[in-house]
Structure 1
Amino acid sequence: MALEQELSALAVDIAAEAGELAHRRRAEGVSISASKSALADIVTEADREVENLIRDRLSAARPGDGFLGEESEADRGTTGITWVVDPIDGTVNYAYGIPSYAVSIAAVSGEPDPRAWQALAGAVYAPALGEMFRAERGGGAWLGDERLRVNSDLNPAGSLLATGFGYDPATHAPQLALLGRVMPLARDIRRIGVASLDLAYVAAGRLDGYFERGLNPWDHAAGVLMVQEAGGIAVGVDGGAPSRDMTIVGGEQLVDRLAAIVFGEQGIPT
């Protein structure tokens, strides 16, 4: 079995177990344990429990690999492979009982920095929806047995786009201004609140494109690989890799148009 296939299978297995734990804890009741960067940026006890489970399973299966997770300190490891993990993406949805949340697990090689790494495999599992998205470098993106493809053609009625907003209220006005500039391209806008699912939905053709500023590596590591393996592209500032400064994904024509707006004279929102 090729390394990418091995890593993908492991990501799927662990994401399924972690997702079921998150789903079970949600049914039992959610306890908010802290806020992070802002009052709206919460972390639940389940986030930490799920991340610990993922880290333990990965350590047992591949003890030399590095780990970069949302809720714990980074570990570079010794093998050159790092697991990039969001234990519960969409924590606010999760806390409120909205079924759109996901476990995101990716394996990358090289420096644990999205501007430098090469994504090898990833899984995004939405336990409340019963959907497991997966991808491996060179092996395509999949939902179950269905191979995924992005929508590559521009729709004359406009594109169905998704975006998100940062937790810091100071960022909302410029982000809304950017949304206003993008709207002429859009048939409609979706704000799901789960970056990993937004990206998986672009890969699956459920969305035409997605853009957002402020994503962390664990938000997009698995999903960006899915978009790329489904025939789409993902760019950041100046055509570079996706980063906290900006992430834009979709078919090539749409991404070109979005990038021209996002990185135009008025620039990206601060």
Structure 2
Amino acid sequence: MSDEVLIELRDDQTLWLTINREKQRNAINAQVLEGLSQGLDQAMANPDIRAVVLTGAGAKAFCAGGDLQSNSPFSVDYSSPYAGAAQLFRKAKQTTVPLIARVNGACLAGGMGLLSMCDLAVAVRTASFGLPEVKVGMFPAQVLSLLQHQIPRRSLNELCLLGDTITAEMAYDIGLVNGVTDNLDDELNGILARLSERSPAAIRRGLYTLKKMEAMPFEEAISFAETQVALFALTEDAKEGVRAFQEKRKPVWTGK
């Protein structure tokens, strides 16, 4: 396990993935991609894990993108049809544990990809966001595969073509984050507390449904939804939820 991504289980149900390259502004390298991938595997293998928090070490950067200080920052293995970051994004799409981005500072370039692969995101008010690739002759092509579904097209075009950074408040206004706060951990803990009260089975199957339906045309999506509703109703959590509602008490979830 690389020490460039710290993997820590907190409260027996929240897995923290911390990019541990503070001096490099938590820039992405091969070890970071591998560590994050291992973290997602660990979350999926443990049914007791209710959420994954992704953040960066320190207080200045969530992730500043690819490590441009390396000898060949854009190099890939051309013999492989699958690039490292793309593989991580694919794995995130298949993950049915909620991924929460804790944006503690600058979120740039590939960092925007990490943000976009998460299901929820909260940002400290001093955070900044941007896709500056055009300033070094590149373009955020892989990030677009995720980001294009999350923010309005005009905003996306502006970020990609101008390469300027925006504030946390602007990121909130275009739907890039769910909340902006002066106390990041209070905001995050509020989300984690609410998630812990919800049905684990509904969240797992719900995330699966959300991610599958995203790219479907309407008729395919509605047909898929019909089958999923029937499966939701068969879970122990759904039956317990109805009983608890009828008996006017809090449900006791089994996650099954």
- When normalised by structure 1's length, the TM-score is 0.26
Q: More strand per residue: 1 or 2? A: 1
Larger radius of gyration, structure 1 or 2?
2
**Which structure has more RCO (C-alpha within 8 Å, separation ≥ 6)?**
1
- When normalised by structure 2's length, the TM-score is 0.27
Q: More helix per residue: 1 or 2? A: 2
